[in-house]
Structures are given as C-alpha cells and as structure tokens.
Chains A and B, each alone.
Chain A
Amino acid sequence: MATSQQGSSAQTELVDYQSDAGDHYLSASSGTGFKSWAFTLDHKRISLMYLAGLSFALALGGAFALALRTELLSGDGFFGWSNDTYNQMFTLHGAIMTFLFLIPGIPAGLGNFILPLMLGAKDVAFPRINLLSFYLWATGAVFFVATLLIGGLDTGWTFYTPYSIETQTAVMTATAGAFVLGFSSIFTGLNFIVTVHKMRSKGQGWFQMPLFVWSIYATGVIQILATPVLGITLLLLMAERLMQIGIFDPSLGGDPVLFQHFFWFYSHPAVYIMVLPAMGVASELFTTFSRKHIFGYGFIAMSSLAIAFLGFIVWGHHMFTSGQTPIASTVFSFITFSVAIPSAIKVFNWLATLYKGSISLESPMCYALSFMGLFLIGGLTGLFCATTSTDIHLHDTYFIVAHFHYVMVGGTLVAFLGALHYWWPKISGRMYNEFWGKVSAILVFIGFNVTFFPQFVMGSRGMPRRYHHYIEEAYQSFHVASTIGAYILGVALVIVLVNLVGSIKRGRRAPANPWGATTLEWKTQSPPIHHNFHEEPDVPAIYEYENTVYNREIGGFVDRKVVKGA
C-alpha cells in the first residue's frame, strides 16, 4: 500500500492500493523472455495469451463474415462464388467463431485473469492444467487453420450426418480440432469450479462472491457435464468416416438424426457456455456504473444455475423439423419457454439495479446497456422459434440467423467488449481513450442493429439461410443494409483494437480502482503483482459503494476502511 491517508473521521482510513514500485506480473522481475511466457503458470499471463489468440480468431471469423456479406450484396452473388465456395465460407465463419472465439472468449480469456483476483487467490487451483488448456486451444486453432488450407469445410458448423460422412472436404481435421478444443474447454471449466470451491480467501462465503464468479461457476458446470458428449460425438463421427461403423450412416442401417441428438446435447448447453459469462459481466457493470448495490443478488446468482440446468433439457428445439417425434417436440418446446424465466429474472434485476442509481455512461457501461437491449431482443425472438408452429415457418430462414446473432454477438461479443474495457486498466495498467471507447460502443451498437435487424424482417418474409442467390426485388434492400451494418461493425472493432492496444503506449497510468468498483480485483495495484495481492485481502462487503471514494489527485477511487480501535 503506497499511500495511506487519514480520512476526515478518526474511525476511517482511506486506502489506495496502487504501488509505484513498478513491480508487476509483466515487469522484468516476473521474467520477460520467451520462456517466461511459453512456460508461465501465471493465470494473468495465460489470460493475455488467450486474449491475443482470441483476437486472431475474431479477426479471422470476422473476415469471413465480411466476405459473406459482400457476396450477398447482389442477388446473383457479388463475387460470383460457386455454391461450394459459399458453403465453405459460412461453415468456416460459424465454426471459427463458435469453437475458437465465443466458447473460450469470456471464461478462458477474461475469466482467467479476473476469477482468481475476485476470490483473493494467488492463482487458479491447477495452474499447469490452465496452461495445458491454453495449449489445447492453440492446437485446436492450428487444426482449424489447417482445415482452411487443406480443402476447407462445407458441412456447416454442426457437422450434420450423413453429409459430413460423404463430403470430401477436411472434416477429419476440423472435427479433430473441435475435439481438442472441447478438452481445452473441459479443463478450463474443471479448473474454475475447483478454484471457486477451494481457493476463496478466508471469510469469503458463497454469497460474498461477485456475480461474475457465479456465472463462471455455472458455466463450468456446463463445460464439465456437456463437453465430454461433444468429444464422443466427434470421435464417433471420425470413426464413421474412417471405419464406417454405421451408427450415423443410414446406408449402413444407422440413424443420422441420432447424430443431431448427440450434437445438441452438447451444443445447446454450449449456447449457455457462451452467454452465461456475458450475463455475469453485465451484472458487474450495471452495479458498478450505477454505484448502487446489485438488486436481487441471490436471484441473479441462482438464475445462472437454473439456466445452466435448463440448458440441458431443451436441445430438441433444434430438431423440430427433423421429423423428431411430436411428443419430444412438445416437451422440448415447453421447457424452452421456461428458460425465459431465469433470463427475465436477470434482466428485471438489472433494471432494478439501474433504477435511481447514479449512472455514469463510461465505455463499459455503454456496452452493458447495449448488451441488455440486444440480449433482450435475442431472447424474446427465441420464443418465436421455440413455438413449434411458428418455427415450421421460421426454421432455416434469416430470422434464425438474426436471432442467434442477437444472442451470440449482441450478447456475448458486446459483453466481451464491455468486460475488456472494464478490466483493461487492471490488465494493462493503462487507461484507454474514453472518447474513442464510447465511439466504439455506439458504433458497435449501430453497426450490429443495422446488420441484423433487417435479417429478422427478410427472414420472416422467407429468405432462407445458407443461400447466396436470392430474388433481388424481395430481399436486396435488406441484404445491402445488412452488409453496410457489417462494415460499420468491422470498423468499430478496429477502433476497439487500436484504442486498447494504443493505450499501452499512450494511455495514462491506471489507478488501482478507476471505476469505484467494490470487488476484490480492484483491491490490488494495476497491473497486479505476480502473486496478485501484497497480502491476503480482507473480504469486503461487495457492492457497497459508500466504501469507495473518488480521489481527484490519483484520478481513481480509494477505499474507505473502518479502522478498528482507532
């Protein structure tokens, strides 16, 4: 603790956790060579390596998205791609975004950095396994890039049989990649669950944990219980291609729709692996930037677990038109509606947190508000898709595309960006440019809506997904709007990158607590030292904002601590 000032009252003391010693997890004392990164067991450095990799994956997936949108500018194809090329493009866009960015994005990328800090721990429970997870992720990424180079993939990201057994594209490489990425995800989830159970600092009970930790915990449960099934599914698909085991191949007497059951047993819960951490981020951002205790803490925490559980028993809503037995469809439809309950609990509690709060529209808050609106649209349109009768009409149209992009991009990506801006001062020790931060948030919001809102309209008018030729009179204006929006979104993401990376050179030094947040990661210097805390922190009453006070001199918040016996 560098500065420790006497407060106005004799009983309280103002504490600034920032240290001027210059010793932190990136400094020379923690090692600077290649080996200090390649073999690091520090969760913070592993997180940074993830963030670098995730940016690469996002850029790659984004490049495919822009190419797709450009092709769709005209009804007979702007570039004049063949059908096969188009199939490959949307498959690679989907597979890369899902497996390489959305699933590891918030938990492995940012959670790695923040989770141990929030628990007052020195590291995750198993630092070696954490590093292994990262290398598995990197191996999976190599497999995907190899897929790109040796013939692409045209099955859609879902690898549906029997086509995935027949196609001559690099299905083996891609499934091997997804298999390895699955193990990366399992080990991350396992590590985080044990960390939450066993590494909390003294005095931090379950209900003193930040809500982000709850959401990561619920995510971990899904990762543990669902991902192994993806592993075996992909293994069986590989065995099917190699040895013709016949389980999924109708020409050998197998049941191709069984593959869909196997696949969605993982992949529907996987949707919640993507969105639950985003909800956790939103909970942190809303309370911090309203300077008001989170409303309904217990409800938000428990709704994460409820969503995690319900996520396991709704997978058949992906199969309404596959000929699934009507009993199953009815049950799945009904349970799918019930997911709306815990989701709505979260949204209402966020609204109640905002109500009469002292709201400041910093960049992370702009992202959080945008998240809430977009997630709401994504979630509510999900109900149209969950209704069996309307789904027959909406199935495989742009309505579905828009629906899941509102959840995956409007939800997960926007929350990821908000979280990145929120924790960037802690991660890098620098403040980014607030003006450009806000600009990027607003541009993401505008670009996103311009891209995907028209897709709802054209989808409900019958524009099918995965087609690159369409009737221009009916759909071209929507497609052109959508493409313009995609470019705005692309520009916004470049602004984010330039602003954040540029801040490392140009930004002012970040204080320990720039936002006045109350969770433990702000009770250490920015950036933190190798062991996170100089001494094991006292567990604060979280979300009590009278305990942090703005200090003009340091341009950040200091803690108001009650001194016992003063």
Chain B
Amino acid sequence: MSHDDHGLSHISSLKTLFAVFALLLFFTAVTVGVSRFELGRWDLTIAMTIATVKAVIVSMYFMHLRYEKALNIVIFVSSILFAILFLGISALDATTYQDRIKEYRAVQPLEDN
C-alpha cells in the first residue's frame, strides 16, 4: 500500500481538541454574559455573531472541515447559502399580510387573551 496506516483521514491532536473546547466554553459564557445587558437592536447581532463563531470553530476542528477536501467544504457552505437564500427571499414578503391577519383576528371570537 502506498499510503501510511492513518492515510484515510486527518487525526486531531488532543491539544487542539481541548483548546477548541475551552474556546467554546468561553464564548458560551460571553454570550450569556452579554445577554444580561440591554443592548437594544445590537443584542441579536452580537448573539448571532458569537454563535456563528462557535459553529465555525466546531466545524473547522471537531468536524475536521479545515482538513477536508475542497468539495466537501463547498457542499457544506452551499447548503448554508441556500438556507440564507430561502430566508432572504421569504423575508421580502414578511410584512405583506400582517395587517390582514390582524383584521382577521379582530373579527374572530377571542377565546384566549
């Protein structure tokens, strides 16, 4: 066999794994800490940025994406892009029906609230 015994896939060092774990704990603490402050509209942005950073770290190191073939990275990234496309175009139409839903609700018998 031309390849060495561990040739099938990349092996992570324990140091990397634990460093990633420590970083993830740190970011979890940060996101919980930040949420205690009133930051208005920045609240969501900060929370999502931290979550994205955490997700990127998990996928790069725990999921070995950093060492993967370009093709697998393309697959993963494009699925995220298509999810964003789905969100983006649906968002175009997000508010169109709200008034009519409110009107509809107004004439409904209200069993709750």
Contacts and interface: CB of A to CB of B under 8 A. Distances in A.
A–B contact via C-beta, under 8 angstroms: yes
23 contacts: A197-B71, A224-B79, A225-B79, A225-B82, A229-B86, A250-B101, A250-B104, A251-B104, A253-B101, A255-B98, A255-B101, A257-B93, A257-B96, A257-B97, A261-B93, A262-B90, A312-B85, A323-B96, A323-B97, A323-B100, A324-B96, A327-B92, A328-B92
Interface in B62-97: 71, 78-79, 82, 85-86, 89-90, 92-93, 96-97
Contacts of A255: 97-98, 101
Nearest to A266: B86
A258 interface: yes
A325 B96 contact: yes
Interface in A277-327: 312-313, 315-316, 323-325, 327
A498 B71 CA distance: 46
A258 B79 CA distance: 21
B98 to A, nearest CB: 8
A316 B92 CA distance: 11
B108 interface: yes
B105 interface: yes
Given A265-B86, A316-B89, 7 more contacts: A250-B101, A250-B104, A255-B101, A265-B90, A313-B89, A323-B97, A328-B89
A254 interface: yes
Interface in A188-207: 197
Nearest to A257: B97
Contacts of B86: 229, 265
Contacts of B71: 197
A256 B93 CA distance: 12
Contacts of B89: 261, 313, 315-316, 328
Contact of B105 (A224, A251, A256): A251
A561 B7 CA distance: 39
Interface of B: 71, 78-79, 82, 85-86, 89-90, 92-93, 96-98, 100-101, 104-105, 108
Among B92, B98, B105, the most chain A Cβ lie within 10 Å of the Cβ of: B92
Interface in A316-344: 316, 323-325, 327-328, 331
Interface string A242-281: 0000000011011111100110010000000000000000
B34 to A, nearest CB: 29
B25 to A, nearest CB: 31
Contacts, number: 49
Contacts of B90: 258, 261-262, 265
A251 B97 contact: no
A316 B108 CA distance: 29
A157 to B, nearest CB: 21
A254 B92 contact: no
Contacts of A331: 92
Contacts of A312: 82, 85
A333 to B, nearest CB: 13
Nearest to A319: B93
A104 B90 CA distance: 28
Among A224, A250, A313, the most chain B Cβ lie within 10 Å of the Cβ of: A250
Contacts of B100: 323
Contacts of A251: 104-105, 108
Which 6 residue pairs spanning A and B have beta carbons closest together?
Answer: A328-B92, A261-B90, A325-B96, A225-B82, A250-B104, A250-B101
A45 B45 CA distance: 53
Nearest to B95: A325
A323 B96 CA distance: 8
Contacts of A313: 85, 89
A253 B78 CA distance: 33
Contacts of A254: 101
Nearest to A327: B92
B74 to A, nearest CB: 11
A325 B101 contact: no
A328 B93 contact: yes
Nearest to B96: A325
B92 A250 contact: no
Contacts of B85: 312-313
Contacts of B101: 250, 253-255
Contacts of B92: 325, 327-328, 331
B12 to A, nearest CB: 25
Nearest to A249: B101
A192 to B, nearest CB: 14
B80 to A, nearest CB: 11
Nearest to A332: B89
A184 B89 CA distance: 27
B7 to A, nearest CB: 17
A258 to B, nearest CB: 7
Interface string A211-254: 00000000000001100010000000000000000000011011
B57 to A, nearest CB: 25
Among A197, A255, A257, A262, the most chain B Cβ lie within 10 Å of the Cβ of: A255
A262 B85 CA distance: 12
A224 B82 CA distance: 11
A324 B97 CA distance: 8
A225 B84 CA distance: 12
Interface in A95-145: none
Contacts of B82: 225, 312
Nearest to B104: A250
A324 B93 contact: yes
Contacts of B105: 250-251, 253
B72 to A, nearest CB: 10
A295 to B, nearest CB: 30
B104 A325 contact: no
